[in-house]
Amino acid sequence: MKKLIGLILNILPFVMVALFNTVGNSSDFDLIRLKKAVAICFLPVLAVTVYQGIKEGLSYLKTALTVVFAFLFAALYLFPDTGILLSRNFMTVFYAGFFSAAFFPPLFKLPPFTYEFAKKTTPSSVWKLESFKKINMIINYIWAFIFAVCIGITLLPIPVDYALLQFLAPFLVIGTGFYLNKKLPVILNQKLDIEKPVFESVRAMLESMPFGLNREAAKGVDAVVQFIVSGNEDFSGYLVIKNQLCSYHEGVHEKPSCTIKTPSDIWLDVSSGKRNGTEAFLEKLFTVEGDGSFLLKMNELFGSKKTGKKKTGVIISEKEKKFAYQEMKSGQIQKILIIDGGHRGKKFSKTTLMATQFGLGAQTEGAEVETVFLKDKKIHACTGCYTCWTKTPGKCIFQDDMEELLVKTRNADLVVYATPLFVFSMTSTLKAYFDRIIPNLKPYLETQAGLTCHPRRYEDKKEQGMVVFSAAGFPEIERNFDSLSLTFKNINSHFNGSRLLGEFYLPCAEILSMPVFKDRLEKVKHACFEAGRQAVREGKIALQRIHEVREVPYDLNEFEKSANFFWKSMEGKASFYESAVPFEEGVVK
């Protein structure tokens, strides 16, 4: 009932406008009829303006309309000729009143008339935001322009036969205004770069967040973020982000994507920038259940539109652009040997994780995959005696595990080399393996593709594929993995029949075990798994998979802060293993 009464009160003043205009035109602006009409119309408009002013606050537009009718009333009764002239141009006077209501108040530091309507659809916490004020000011002056256009239309010398067109034209313009009124706030909110607001309460902040959503960043996001707030405030509420829109609801959602449990003062400090969010999380000042990776998206979804901070993305050097990874025949790869030169173990090695996923993908296509962990093997360092080339061709003086590995390496259709980045190169265990691989070569020299090489001793395989996996804590690929990449490219070019199918270099690897980086972890695993499948099925690896591993979707400044605090807060290696998420899910045997 209240809504119906409110609707009637809002429509009534405009019904009076139409009534007065109709009476004037139908009576050929007869003074007696105009006096009666203005009295009948003025009183309801005045009553509605006063009543709603007391109940809801002053309305600029209704006040302007009341002033217009009051002016007409006075003119018709005190200055009839002037009153008739104004009545003949009633619509011009009407739009002039609205133009004044839109144009002049901001000049006197008063709020724009659009506040009256915007505040009905937004929580009070939003009213204090700088973006709310700027957007309303822009829309306010757009309406002032629209009313000015309407004034111009009513003053055009249009023949009587087209008088209806002159009456309807402003409504078409106003209709355009209402359309812009609906669309512009969303557009302007994405374009304006407003200083980050400071809130007095977490509830006020959550209520305001839907109006600060970066819709471009929200593409494809479908999530429910539950907040359980304690301390000075004690309440539960959740954000629903879907179809590039966001809404806030009080209470507890049945199936949230993630749940953030936080004291109110901590979250206020995080949201205002007084405290780094990642540091607060690592210090366990607040907790996250479910998909913790959503924490990384919060600043992008609700932060400033123009951060001015760089991201690493996928950076490809000019040298790499000129290098073409090689291919083998479809179905040629049936036997794969993974040589893992890492020391950390299966649970926490990012390099092992990638190689393992590659192997699992290859197995789904029917390939036979074997993994050798060099840290578990006894491999004596090469002494450079050349006995394997002279006295006992093809056989080393040391009888250790390398003897078996030489045979396994020869028999593989594809050899996968996995090594974390150690001082811009491979680990000592993998280097020892390569130093001991020369028994598989002959001492003679021959030219292959313009390079002087040692020919293979055994012709078990005319072609053998090679794939490289490596991980490092640095965020850049270039000037960190360059030396390692060049080493493997040289091995590939100097071994007759070798085919380098791809190199997977993972930057920012050390923090990948943190729950908040779950999305990136899953993306890396998927890329390596699919690469393994494609290598067996098609004999090649798409560059897209390599780039998916290399891509770093983090802000570099924030990454450095998080990484530094991560190491600063650790208490030795045991602390790392205690807090890290194990990677071991299915290791290729």
Residues sharing a CB contact under 8 Å with residue 546, sequence separation 6 or more, in sequence order: 502, 503, 504, 527, 531
Ordered per-residue pLDDT tens for the chain, 589 residues: 677 887 788 888 888 988 998 888 888 889 999 999 999 999 999 998 998 888 888 889 899 999 999 999 999 999 999 989 999 898 889 989 999 999 999 999 899 988 888 888 787 777 877 778 888 899 899 999 988 988 888 887 766 555 555 556 666 666 777 777 777 776 776 666 656 677 889 998 898 888 878 888 888 889 999 999 999 999 999 999 999 889 999 999 999 999 999 999 999 998 887 887 777 887 789 988 887 777 777 777 876 555 444 454 555 555 565 678 999 999 899 999 999 999 876 667 899 999 999 999 999 999 999 999 999 999 999 999 999 999 999 999 999 999 999 999 999 999 999 999 999 999 999 999 999 999 999 999 988 878 898 888 887 667 899 999 999 988 888 889 999 999 999 988 888 888 999 999 999 887 777 766 777 888 999 999 999 999 999 999 999 999 999 887 766 776 777 777 767 665 544 454 455 555 555 444 4
Kindly report, residue by residue over 296-330, the tens digit of the pLDDT: 777 778 765 554 444 545 555 555 656 789 999 99
What are the Cα distances from residue 66, in Å, to 38, 84, 101, 151, 507?
A: 11, 18, 12, 18, 68
**What angle, rounded to 10 degrees, do the helices at 2-26 and 31-56 form?**
160
For residue range 539-583, list pLDDT tens digits in order: 999 999 999 998 877 667 767 777 777 676 655 444 544 555 555
* Tally of CB atoms within 10 A around 8: 11
Q: Please, where are the H alpha helices in 498-588?
A: 518-538, 543-550, 556-568, 573-579
Q: Which two tokens stand for residue 190?
A: 């994405």
Cα-based distances in Å from 215 to 241, 294, 310, 353, 483: 10, 16, 20, 34, 41
The whole-model pTM stands at 0.63
8 Å CB contact between 21 and 164: no
Question: What are the Cα distances from residue 549, in Å, to 112, 423, 461, 510?
Answer: 51, 21, 30, 14
Concatenated DSSP letters of 33-60: HHHHHHHHHHHHHHHHHHHHHHHH---H
Contacts of range 73-76, beta carbons closer than 8 Å, 24 or more positions apart: 73/38, 73/39, 73/42, 76/31, 76/34, 76/35, 76/38
